[in-house]
Amino acid sequence: MVDQRTTRPGRRLHALVDRLLGRNGTTIPAPRRSNPDAVVDCAVYVDGRREPGRPHYADAYARSRRGRDAFVWLGLHEPGPAVMAAVGRVFGLDELTVEQALADGHRPTVQRHGDVTLLVLRTAGYVEHDELTESSEVIDTGDVMVFLGDRFVLTVRHGASGALTTVRAEIEQRPAVLAEGPWAVAYAVCDRMVDLYLEVAGHVERDLDRVEENVFSPDRSVDIQHVYQLKREVVEFKRAVLPLQSPLRTLLEPHPANPPRSLHRRFADVDARLARAVDRVAAYDDLLTSIVQSRLAQLAVEQNNDMRKIAAWAAIAAAQTGIAGVYGMNFPTLPGLEWRYGYAVALGLMLLAALTLHRLFRRSGWL
């Protein structure tokens, strides 16, 4: 006969173990992981449509690998080394790629690291200002790095400009395009960056019109330092726009790792609009160079006019000094020293010489 006193505690222990292991139909929910602060958004897309929720990026990537026609889009803004290292382990990024993602100021390029393609773009934003000064910030630039894999796309952004929240919202309204996979996200990011280039170019054009008007106005109130500052800002903008042409055209070449053929027309349209932005920025740079040269020529002419005025007044003063110097020698044989009207005649001669020289200089344009 079995002792009940020994079996009851054992049964209770087995029941507790069964509940912990979920054998009785109940499971203990795993603690929910939260994304770090550097994560702007994380979502899984299936057939071009976003799955509900905002899961942890590791769970999202695991879900995308289990699903068909699914991928995860993870957006990061200025991640720290710990966060980027953890993301790299989840998505299989090598150490060099992780280091690249941590740094900013990259030149636009396309690189391939194994099965991962890296697309780097520069962001640009116009900084509103009441007037142009020698320290005005006109264009704010940053960069965005797009890592593309088989079932994932990572966007790592540095800088305040070029936020991708609107990009995500707009592409989610186009499930047919988003169904093309991670390269659809790359297309949306490129499209947005080129739109920003054209928008900033429009604002810069208005600044150029004001500077040009002030430089060639009669009062010429603009300072050469203001023109130099705008020139520096346009050069920075030019460095963001022009180098992107080569990477975009590389993506249009036939290559297994390049975008699918269904997206080629869209990337070609982005490349065409980028060419317009490049032409405008190059024209602005050339125009500013001409304005700077014109302003320097104006300054040289103004300085020459000032020197001529100084020389004219010095010549007028020299005539008076010459007459006063001769009659100040006090030689006994100097004619006119004993003349009653000598003093008045000397003053009259000085005045006549001054008026004659002043008239001649005015007629020649020196005064």
Q: 94-103, 225-234, 264-273, 354-363: which has the highest mean pLDDT?
A: 264-273
Q: Write the DSSP symbol of residue 122.
A: E
Tell me the C-alpha distance between 276 and 236, whole Å.
18
Burial classification of residue 160, based on how many CB atoms lie within 10 Å of its CB (0-12 exposed, 13-18 middle, 19 or more buried): middle
Question: Lowest-pLDDT range, 7-21, 132-146, 169-183?
Answer: 7-21
Tell me the C-alpha distance between 97 and 118, whole Å.
9
Q: CA dist 65 to 18, 46, 53, 91, 180, Å?
A: 31, 11, 17, 11, 16
Q: CA dist 276 to 198, 241, 296, Å?
A: 8, 10, 30
Report the relative pairing of strands 109-113 and 152-158 from DSSP bridges. unpaired
Q: Does the global pTM surpass 0.85?
A: no
- Using alpha carbons only, what angle is made at residue 100 by residues 111 and 63, rounded to the nearest 5 degrees? 80
Tell me the C-alpha distance between 236 and 365, whole Å.
43
Q: What average pLDDT does this structure show over 21-34? A: 47
Question: SS3 for 359?
Answer: helix
* Per-residue pLDDT reduced to its tens digit, 57-95: 999 999 999 888 899 999 999 999 999 999 999 999 999
Buried b / exposed e along 222-237 (16+ C-beta atoms within 10 A):
beeebbebbbebbebb
Q: Which residue has the higher pLDDT, 22 or 210?
A: 210
Bridge partners, 142 (sequence order): 123
Q: 19-23, 155-159, 317-321: which has the highest mean pLDDT?
A: 155-159
Report the relative pairing of strands 152-158 and 70-77 from DSSP bridges. parallel
Tell me the C-alpha distance between 145 and 111, whole Å.
11
Q: What average pLDDT does this structure show over 200-222? A: 80
CA 162 to chain centre: 9
Q: Write the DSSP symbol of residue 110.
A: E
Which residue from 121, 266, 55 is spatially nearest to 180, judged by alpha carbons? 266
pLDDT at 180 over 90: yes
Tell me the C-alpha distance between 236 and 242, whole Å.
10
The pLDDT assigned to 120 comes to 95
DSSP states of 155-215: EEEESSS---HHHHHHHHT-HHHHTT-HHHHHHHHHHHHHHHHHHHHHHHHHHHHHHHHHH
Q: How many CB atoms lie within 10 A of CB 326?
A: 11
* Per-residue pLDDT reduced to its tens digit, 184-205: 999 999 999 999 999 999 999 9
The pLDDT assigned to 242 comes to 94
Q: What average pLDDT does this structure show over 123-138? A: 82
Which residue from 39, 44, 117, 113 is spatially nearest to 83, judged by alpha carbons? 39
Tell me the C-alpha distance between 233 and 285, whole Å.
10
pLDDT at 363 over 70: yes
Tell me the C-alpha distance between 324 and 332, whole Å.
16
